[in-house]
Structure 1
């Protein structure tokens, strides 16, 4: 399958097309996506995901078929600059979720939250509803289900009729699950949000401002979750690949 044609400017980092829209432009694009009622998969991608795509053609193809990929990780912004096609800035998934909820208060959008544990997702839903009382959280459920449960989960989401579906599942399954079921879900905006619900619920803390300003949120998460070190090994590999292949970083492949 050929990559999806984008209606906004992109820059390709090792074949993964990243949106060049800033946060405001992204929010505006997604507002139009919701109005269109057509399914859109939004990927908030970091260098680890790009390295997965580099090594796994199927994963790369899945990413290329997404309607929008935003640069969640600061490493993506850095790599695009090294390749001579700079991005305006990061569009962190955590912040984008909140921007959509803010807009949701104005437009009375319906939100569905899927993923993590039952306790965490319930607490996240309650906190978001308190923070954005005019937005509508039309449903939520935990992410502990297997392929045999997909049909029932999808049916429940369709019955709730959300405008936006946020999905937090395992790093290796989150985006492929969305891609596989995007059409069946029939939700205008479906976005993977990783550990965002853990932060919103209070289970985890977001990196302090100083780490954010220094673009070291990844390091803060590693300090708090040492078990992530295996995934983090992809980061130095990404840096080396960018520096070795400067002329190819932003060429479509």
Structure 2
């Protein structure tokens, strides 16, 4: 695992989740940008944990990351069950906005990659309006295949962004970042899933009270029934955690 030894972690089925608050995470990442240290950030939820347990290549991608933050409330719950509590949930959506806020006074260079053409254009415009101090140096949709990878990588590398946000779905964005990270000429590379859909206004994030009840996953399922099959991993994860209990944070993969 490449994650820095200076970061306190809690293992969930062998995956080391950072035990930092949102504020501490942002501070650590701003230091990384200042030092120009190439960093792959994964915002992981229970679905991704289950995917890693079922797929050795995806587990390898997770193990190559520099920072894994607990995006899902289920991860925080699992750590509690395992007897090694995490300080708090650090969602990818909120971390994106916190980094953009930090970039306001630092003039960060940001590239946006992923989602559909209309969504990425709207997200680009909204983020530009929200954070005028940040230089959004480029953006493009995520509708490209392996044959176009070289052109996309070259374009991003030439622009030298401080932060590259990638929204192509966890099963695509994380392996893609891991494969090309050394050629992207970017400091922070972070998968953000469906964040651009919310930022663009195409979809709405769950109300705060729903988030506080740890039911954001259910809200998304109601709004997007097509996610049903993917969401089946959640009860499987919950059952596995309840069955394993204290082994959750002790298991070595």
TM-score by length of 1: 0.97
Aligned to 1:15: 14
Is 2:161–2:185's contact at 8 Å kept on the other side of the alignment? no
Instruction: After TM superposition, list the pairs within 5 Å mapping 1:165-244 onto structure 2.
Output: 165-244=164-243
Q: How big is the shift at 1:170?
A: 2.8
The list of structure 1 runs, each at least 4 consecutive aligned residues, that deviate by more than 2 angstroms after superposition, is none
CA distance in 1, matches of 2:208, 2:242: 28
**1:170-193 deviation per Cα after TM superposition (whole angstroms, max 9, x unaligned):** 331111111111111121100000
CA distance in 2, matches of 1:135, 1:184: 23
Count of residues in Structure 1 that have an aligned counterpart in Structure 2: 251
SS at match of 2:182: helix
Report whether the alignment pairs 1:145 with 2:144.
Answer: yes
RMSD: 0.9
Aligned to 2:23: 24
Q: How big is the shift at 1:247?
A: 2.2
Unaligned runs of 5+ in 2: none
CA distance in 2, matches of 1:142, 1:96: 21
SS at match of 1:186: coil
CA distance in 2, matches of 1:207, 1:29: 28
CA distance in 2, matches of 1:49, 1:175: 10
CA distance in 2, matches of 1:170, 1:191: 12
SS at match of 1:144: coil
Is 2:170–2:191's contact at 8 Å kept on the other side of the alignment? no
TM-score by length of 2: 0.97
Aligned to 1:103: 102
SS at match of 2:170: coil
Report whether the alignment pairs 1:74 with 2:73.
Answer: yes
Instruction: After TM superposition, list the pairs within 5 Å mapping 1:32-43 onto structure 2.
Output: 32-43=31-42
Aligned to 1:4: 2
Aligned to 1:120: 119
Q: How big is the shift at 1:153?
A: 0.1
CA distance in 2, matches of 1:68, 1:105: 23
